[in-house]
C-alpha cells in the first residue's frame, strides 16, 4: 500500500510505501477509492488536536471497497462498498456507551487521528464502524457525506425544529446541511467570509434565502444558527442574530477562543451548545435521508500525491464545497 503520512506537527505529508495491512478479528481492509478532506484533518496536521502519535495517516471521509475480512466479520462482504467515518471505535463499556451516547465514549478511536485513515490506497477499519453505501452515486461525491454530512446532520438535529436557520461557514458541511434543511421546509441564511461571492452564490444556488458576510445582520431573526467555521469570534455574532429562546450550535471539534461578550446577547434563554463526534445511528439516519433527498455535493478532486495542495487550499479558504483525494 501507499499513503500520505504525517511525520511531525505542521510538517508536509510525505508519500510512503508500506506493506499491505492485514485485518485483525473484527476488522476489514478497505481499498480506498476516494477520501474527502475535512477541516479536522487540518487540525490534526497543524497540531491543534492533542496527543497525536506520529507517524499518522489522516483522512476520515473514506469511500472504498472491502478487499479483506478479519475473522468473525459476518455482516460485511468482500467487494462491498462502504464508508468509514471519523468515529472508528468505541469501548461499549463506559457510562456514555451504556447510555447510547457512544459519541462521548471515554476510550474512543478516531479514523485519521488515533488510527490510520484514508489518505492512502488501503486502510484497516473496525467492521462495526463501516457504513454500507450501496451502488448509487459516485465515490468522490459520496465521500464528504462521511463527516461533513454526518456532523452536519447531528448539528442540524441539535439545532432543533426552527424554521429559520443560520449557517456560519458555507463549506463542505454547510452546503450539505443547506440541502437537508431546504428539504425539511426551513429557510437558510448563509454566512461566509467577507467578499466570498463564490460561496455566497453557491448558497443561493442551493436554495438559501439569503447569503452575506458573517458580520452582516440577516433580514430576519434566526431560530437557530450552526457554526462550522472554527472561529470563536462567530459565537457572539450568531448570538446577536438568533431570537430569544434560540440556539447556537458549535459544530467543530476545534475552535479558536470565544471572545468575551455582553450577557444581554445570551439573556432571553438563548443557548450555546456543542456537537461532539457522531454515533452509528447518526450515520444510518443521515445516509437514509441523503438517499431520499439526492444530495448534490460540490467537490474538487485531487490526486493523492497532491494532498498538501488540497490542505493548503482548505486552510486558505480557497475551496468552494469540498476537496476529495483519489489514490
Say if residue 208 is in the same domain as residue 263: yes
Q: How many domains does the chain have?
A: 2
What does the alpha-carbon distance between residue 282 and residue 284 come to, in Å, rounded to a whole number? 6
How far apart (Å, rounded) are the C-alpha atoms in residues 239 and 241? 5
Find the CATH number of the domain harbouring 104.
3.90.180.10
Q: Which CATH number fits the domain that encloses residue 166?
A: 3.40.50.720
Specify the pLDDT at position 6. 98
Cα 55 from chain centre: 22
pLDDT tens-digit readout, 116-149: 999 999 999 999 999 999 999 999 999 999 999 9
> What is the average per-residue pLDDT within 313-324?
90
β pairing state of 27-37 and 322-326 = antiparallel
Q: Would you place residue 78 in the very low, low, confident or very high pLDDT band (cuts 50, 70, 90)?
A: very high
Q: Regarding beta strands 109-110 and 2-5, do their DSSP bridges make them parallel or antiparallel, or are they unpaired? A: unpaired
In a domain, 269, yes or no: yes
- Do the domain assignments include residue 303? yes
Question: For residue 243, how many other CB atoms are within 10 A of its CB?
Answer: 15
* Helix ranges, 62-171 (H): 95-98, 139-142, 148-159
Alpha carbon 272 to its chain centroid, in Å, reads 20
Same domain, 128 and 195: no
Confidence of residue 327 (pLDDT cuts 50, 70, 90): very high
The pLDDT tens digits of the residues spanning 200-249 come to 999 999 999 999 999 999 999 999 999 999 999 999 999 999 999 999 99
Instruction: Give the Cα separation of 82 and 77 in Å (integer).
Output: 10
Assess whether 305 and 232 both reside in one domain. Answer: no
Predicted local confidence at residue 189, as pLDDT:
98
CA 307, chain centre distance (Å): 17
Mean pLDDT, the chain, rounded, equals 95
In a domain? residue 292: no
> Which pLDDT value is given to residue 296?
87
Residues 234 and 301 in one domain: no
Report field, pTM of the whole predicted structure over 0.85: yes
Residue 143 maps to a domain: no
Indicate if 39 and 98 belong to the same structural domain: yes
Question: Residues 255, 306: one domain?
Answer: no
Q: Say yes or no: 161 and 252 in one domain.
A: yes
- The whole-number average pLDDT for the span 281-304 is 92
Q: Helices 148-159 and 280-293: crossing angle, nearest 10°?
A: 100
- Is residue 74 situated within a structural domain? yes
Distance of CA 213 to CAs 136, 196, 198, 209, 252, Å? 36, 8, 12, 14, 19
Helices 148-159 and 172-183, packing angle to 10 deg: 50
Residue 108 CA to residue 89 CA, distance in Å, equals 6
- Give the cell for residue 254: 476545534
Using a 10 angstrom Cβ sphere, with 0-12 exposed, 13-18 middle and 19 or more buried, the burial of residue 54 is exposed
Indicate the helix (H) or strand (E) that contains 324. Answer: strand 322-326
**Range 30-53 average pLDDT:** 95
The C-alpha cell of 282 is what?
447518526
Cα–Cα distance measured from residue 315 to residue 319, given in angstroms and rounded to the nearest whole number: 9
The residue written with cell numbers 431546504 in the block is 182
Name the strand (E) or helix (H) holding 83. strand 81-84
Instruction: Say whether pLDDT at 257 is over 90.
Output: yes
Q: Is residue 141 part of a domain?
A: no
Q: Looking at the predicted structure, is the pLDDT value of residue 304 above 90?
A: yes
179-188: per-residue pLDDT in tens?
999 999 999 9
pLDDT at residue 320 is higher than 90: no
Domain that holds residue 216: 149-274
- Segment 168-177, tens digit of pLDDT: 999 889 999 9
- What's the CA gap between 222 and 238, in Å, rounded? 9
Do 9 and 130 belong to one domain?
Answer: yes
Please indicate, yes or no, whether residues 182 and 127 belong to a single structural domain of this protein: no
Classified as helix, coil or strand, 17 is strand
Residue matched to cell numbers 481499498 = 31
Shared-domain flag, residues 8 and 101: yes
In a domain, 284, yes or no: no
Q: Residues 2, 9: contact at Cβ < 8 Å?
A: no
Predicted confidence at residue 319, as pLDDT, reads 87
Across 106-125, average pLDDT: 98
Residue (of 254, 247, 232, 283) closest to 103 by Cα position: 283
Q: Would 83 be classed as within a structural domain? A: yes
Residue 318 and residue 213 in one domain: no
Same domain? 157 vs 43: no
Contact 61, 278 (CB under 8 A): no
d(CA 63, CA 138): 10
pLDDT band per the 50, 70, 90 thresholds, residue 16: very high
Q: Which of 323, 318, 320 is nearest to 300 (CA)?
A: 323
Calculate mean pLDDT across residues 70-96.
97
pLDDT at residue 273, rounded to an integer: 97
Q: Residue 303, exposed/middle/buried by CB under 10 A (0-12, 13-18, 19+)?
A: exposed
Amino acid at each position: 500500500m501507499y499513503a500520505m503520512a504525517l511525520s511531525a506537527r505542521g510538517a508536509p505529508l510525505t508519500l510512503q510505501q508500506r506493506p499491505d495491512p492485514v485485518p485483525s478479528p473484527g476488522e476489514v481492509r478497505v481499498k480506498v477509492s476516494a477520501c474527502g478532506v475535512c477541516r479536522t484533518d487540518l487540525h490534526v496536521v497543524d497540531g491543534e488536536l492533542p496527543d497525536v502519535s506520529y507517524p499518522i495517516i489522516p483522512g476520515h471521509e473514506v469511500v472504498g471497497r472491502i478487499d479483506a475480512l478479519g475473522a468473525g466479520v459476518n455482516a460485511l462482504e468482500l467487494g462491498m462498498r462502504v464508508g468509514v467515518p471519523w468515529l472508528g471505535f468505541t469501548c461499549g463499556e463506559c457510562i456514555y456507551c451504556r447510555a447510547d451516547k457512544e459519541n462521548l465514549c471515554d476510550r474512543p478511536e478516531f479514523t485519521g487521528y488515533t488510527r490510520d485513515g484514508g489518505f492512502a490506497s488501503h486502510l484497516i477499519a473496525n467492521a462495526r464502524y463501516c457504513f454500507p453505501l450501496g451502488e448509487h452515486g459516485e465515490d468522490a461525491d459520496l465521500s464528504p457525506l462521511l463527516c461533513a454530512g454526518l456532523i452536519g446532520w447531528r448539528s442540524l438535529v441539535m439545532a432543533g425544529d426552527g424554521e429559520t436557520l443560520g449557517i456560519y461557514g458555507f463549506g463542505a458541511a454547510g452546503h450539505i446541511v443547506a440541502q437537508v434543511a431546504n428539504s425539511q421546509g426551513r429557510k437558510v441564511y448563509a454566512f461566509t467570509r467577507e467578499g466570498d461571492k463564490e460561496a455566497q452564490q453557491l448558497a443561493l444556488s442551493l436554495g438559501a434565502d439569503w447569503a452575506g458576510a458573517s458580520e452582516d445582520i440577516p433580514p430576519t431573526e434566526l431560530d437557530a444558527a450552526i457554526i462550522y467555521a472554527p472561529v470563536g469570534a462567530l459565537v457572539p455574532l450568531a448570538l446577536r442574530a438568533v431570537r430569544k429562546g434560540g440556539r447556537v450550535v458549535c459544530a467543530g471539534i476545534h475552535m479558536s477562543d470565544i471572545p468575551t461578550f455582553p450577557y444581554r446577547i445570551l439573556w432571553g434563554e438563548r443557548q450555546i451548545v456543542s456537537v461532539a463526534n457522531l454515533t452509528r445511528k447518526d450515520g444510518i439516519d443521515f445516509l437514509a435521508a441523503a438517499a431520499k433527498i439526492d444530495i448534490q455535493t460540490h467537490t474538487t478532486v485531487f490526486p493523492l500525491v497532491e494532498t498538501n495542495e488540497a490542505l493548503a487550499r482548505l486552510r486558505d479558504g480557497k475551496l468552494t464545497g469540498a476537496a476529495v483525494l483519489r489514490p
